[in-house]
Amino acid sequence: MSFLEVEGYCPICETPASFKSEHAWLRDHFLCQAGCGSIPRERALMVVLQQNFPKWRELQIHESSPSPRGVSQKLSRQCPGYVASQLDPRFESGHLHSSGYRCEDLENQSFPNGHFDVVITQDVIEHVIEPDSVLREIARTLKPGGAHIFTVPLVNREIPSVVRASRGPGNQIVNHLPPEYHGNPMSSEGSLVTMDWLRHRRTDLCEQRHGVHHFPYRPYRMGNSGQTQ
């Protein structure tokens, strides 16, 4: 039995669609049934991209840790300037793996200055050790007027953001709370969560723009029409 099912329009499939979830946690389970299998944040990303960059098919776009479905697949098919990368600690940034992906460390990227119009990170920034350094590197790779569109889970709106892990002596990871991991296609161990984010911390980072726009967005609420609001 479905927990929730809504009829509407999918901005990724660009067609009327049903949205269905068998779980109460809609953020990761409210799937498009029309074909793309996207979750809410991916549909929201497509809306934000279309609204701010309607000619996105003609742009240079970098996405770190893309999804195997939804908006990432649409970009890979329809945008010739789309580049997807994964963090693979076995290789230096810029290495092209035989499996087809490009290796990039967001803290130390190999891309030249001012190369991309848009950078996308979906639920990535909560896994990096130094988010300020990552945002500076992203800004460096963006063209003037470029944009970084990203998501992070907001764990608790009532308390300050919590650093769960940091870098210690000898580049070793120091856990300040019991380790928590999210799924990672590059590792069966998952990806360590380094920070529980709150809105004020996210806003502070967005104010450090370094000459570019950082668009943090949440999965917009689905209205009765199924469209994002």
pLDDT digits 0-9 by tens, 32-68: 999 999 999 999 999 999 999 999 999 999 999 998 8
> Which one has a higher pLDDT value, 225 or 183?
183
- Among residues 112, 106, 181, the alpha carbon closest in space to that of 148 is found at 106
pLDDT at 156: 67
Count of CB atoms within 10 A of residue 126's CB?
Answer: 23
pLDDT (0 to 100) of residue 75: 97
173: left (phi over 0), alpha (psi -120 to 50) or beta: beta
Could you identify the residue written with the tokens 């498009």? 32
Query: Residue 160's pLDDT is what?
Result: 75
pLDDT at 146: 92
Q: Which residues pair with 84 in a beta bridge?
A: 63
pLDDT surpasses 80 at 111: yes
pLDDT tens track for 200-221: 554 455 444 444 555 554 433 3
Considering only residues 53 and 223, tell me which one the structure prediction assigns the higher pLDDT: 53
Give me the mean pLDDT over the 177-198 stretch.
Answer: 82
Instruction: Assess whether pLDDT exceeds 80 at residue 99.
Output: no
**pLDDT of 7-37, one tens digit each?**
999 999 999 999 999 999 898 899 999 999 9
3-state secondary structure of 74: helix
For residues 155-171, average pLDDT = 80
What pTM does this model have? Answer: 0.82
pLDDT of residue 228: 33
According to the model, what pLDDT value does residue 119 have? 97
Q: Residue 213: how many CB atoms within 10 A of its CB?
A: 15
Q: Across all residues in the chain, what is the average pLDDT?
A: 84
Which of 106-115, 140-149, 158-167 bottoms out in mean pLDDT, i.e. has the lowest? 158-167
**Regarding the domain delimited by 38-216, which CATH topology (the fold level of the hierarchy) does it fall under?**
Rossmann fold (3.40.50)
Q: Which residues are paired to 8 by β-bridges?
A: 17
